[in-house]
Amino acid sequence: MNLQLFAAILWTRRYVIGAVVIVTLLCSPVLVRMLRPSYVAVSELSYVGSGSPSNVNSQSNAVLPSTDLPDFIMSSRVIERAIQKIGLASSVNEVAPTISVKSSMHSNLVPISVKMKDPVAAVNLANALADAAVDEYKAIAAHQYDEILSEIDRQMQAERRVMQENDAKLQHAVQQDYAIGSSNAPDDLTRRLDELETQRGIAYATYLADNATASAQSMSGSERGLQSAIHEQVLANDPTYQAVRAVQSKDEAALAAMRGGYTSSFEAFPGLEEQVRSERSSALAARAVAIRDHAGNSATYAQVVLNQHTSAAQAAGDRARLSAIDQNITQAKLKLADLPRVFVAANMFRVQRDGATAAYQQLQTRYQQTLADRAQATALGAAFVLDRAAAAAPRTPPLITAFLISLIIFALAGGAAYLAEILDPRVRTAASIEELYGAPRIGSV
């Protein structure tokens, strides 16, 4: 269709065009309000690995070439990670068409564009995609080291279990015998035995002394020359005896007085003498009773008895202590004798534990080294977020939108005109005439 023919059609259908333009203009406010504009948010990744195109000849630490970054960012893993990061209620298939990633052979910058109706969601998704891409990239870079770290960690746990088991066995053995816990148990046991022997000597000496004291204390008061004093204290403190003695003394005094004034033939003498004898007998009897039954009335006697008991108790204590020391000595000797057997088992635990500890420390060193290697790998081939999306811009500026709407209106009008021309069976053009009759139009009046 040439331009002239198209212009002719437009002119012929000018009323249709006018009607379409008017109707479209009348409807355009409603259409504009119904049409929600799309917003575009852009975040930017920077790729600094030596695998970038400018460094292809150098040793590459990069996990991916930069040309693969768009596909990597558009992968379902990265998108899924971004969706989870911001809690977006959409599937990967729904989100993927809104994402656009471009990369250039001559640039290390990778812009990530997200086009959505919601500007906030567009910003969040653009940033989440950048973060997810960086995280995923690091995860891939560190993946080989993660496997090594996981294996080392597994071995460390095994060694730790061996250490714990042997520690538990040693602890249990130590609880049963303290010597096992010590590395120089024979010396300790010998020293302990010496100490016990020394203690025994001291205890035995003490025992002998206390025993002697007890023997001395156990002698009777008469044996010790204290009997008369005790008897005196007993008699002095016995009221019965004192009463009898007082009567006897008074009667003896009366008898003596009578003897001084009277002769022996005084008839009162025999009776008084008899009374005195009787009283003397009573006094002797009272004395015997007092001494026999009331020895406690003597402080000296009480002290003697107390001393006897004390000495006996001390001697008994000494004997018990001596017996205990002897028992300890016997046990120590037994332990010393049994020490070689116990030591073998304990040493076995200890050796196993020490071996596990050494292996654990070695593994720990390897673990630290691997961690350092991984950090180095992720740092050398790193992608990082250079610029985060702060806001989403409308995809088309208002002026362009207005222009597009105008264009759409004219396209609609032109289309309507052309459609009307097609649907209109009337013959209006020279071409139609020529087509119909196979002859040119030679005039029009």
Partner 1 sequence: MDKPDIVERLGATRARIEAAVDGPTVLVVTSALPTDGSSLLASALAQSLIRAGHSVLLISSEANANARPGQNAGIQHLAPLRLPGGTNNEVAVLGLAMSGSRDLYSLESIRTALAEYRERFAFTVIDAPGALSSGSALSFARAADIVVVAFEDGRAAREADRELAKTLKVIGASVIGVVTLDPKTIARESKKRAPSALRAKAGVPAIPSPIG
Secondary structure (3-state) at 109: strand
Identify which range of 65-73, 76-84, 371-379, 431-439 contacts partner 1 by CB under 8 A: 431-439
Verify binding: residue 438, partner 1, rule CB under 8 A: yes
Pick 146 or 424: Cβ nearer partner 1: 424
Verify binding: residue 439, partner 1, rule CB under 8 A: yes
Identify which range of 203-211, 248-256, 384-392, 428-436 contacts partner 1 by CB under 8 A: 428-436
Residue among 189, 211, 184 nearest 197 (CA): 189
Verify binding: residue 161, partner 1, rule CB under 8 A: no
Enclosing H/E stretch for 116: strand 109-116
Contact 383, 43 (CB under 8 A): no
Selected binder of partner 1 within 2, 57, 264, 444 (CB under 8 A): 444
**Minimum CB separation from partner 1 for residue 429, in Å?**
10
Cα within 13 Å of Cα(128), Cβ side: 21
Site string for partner 1, 380-419 (x = CB under 8 A): ----------------------------------------
Verify binding: residue 442, partner 1, rule CB under 8 A: yes
**Minimum CB separation from partner 1 for residue 8, in Å?**
13
Quickly count: other Cβ atoms within 10 Å of residue 233's Cβ.
18
Tell me the two tokens of residue 240: 């019965």
Secondary structure (3-state) at 44: strand
Phi first, then psi: what are they for 427, rounded to 5°? -90, 120
Pick 223 or 434: Cβ nearer partner 1: 434
Q: Cα angle vertex 322, ends 321, 326, to 5°?
A: 115
**Minimum CB separation from partner 1 for residue 433, in Å?**
5
Enclosing H/E stretch for 321: helix 299-380
Q: Which of residues 57-116 bind partner 1 (CB under 8 A)?
A: none
C-alpha 360/C-alpha 403 separation (Å) is 73
Verify binding: residue 147, partner 1, rule CB under 8 A: no
Verify binding: residue 423, partner 1, rule CB under 8 A: no
With contacts defined by CB under 8 A, how many residues of the chain interact with partner 1?
Answer: 17
Contact 99, 83 (CB under 8 A): no
Verify binding: residue 341, partner 1, rule CB under 8 A: no
Enclosing H/E stretch for 46: strand 39-47
Pick 305 or 431: Cβ nearer partner 1: 431
- Rg over alpha carbons for the chain, rounded to the nearest Å, is 63
Identify which range of 170-178, 229-237, 258-266, 436-444 contacts partner 1 by CB under 8 A: 436-444
**Minimum CB separation from partner 1 for residue 435, in Å?**
9
Pick 87 or 440: Cβ nearer partner 1: 440
Helices 143-176 and 299-380: crossing angle, nearest 10°?
A: 170
Residues that bind partner 1 (CB under 8 A): 425-428, 432-434, 436-445
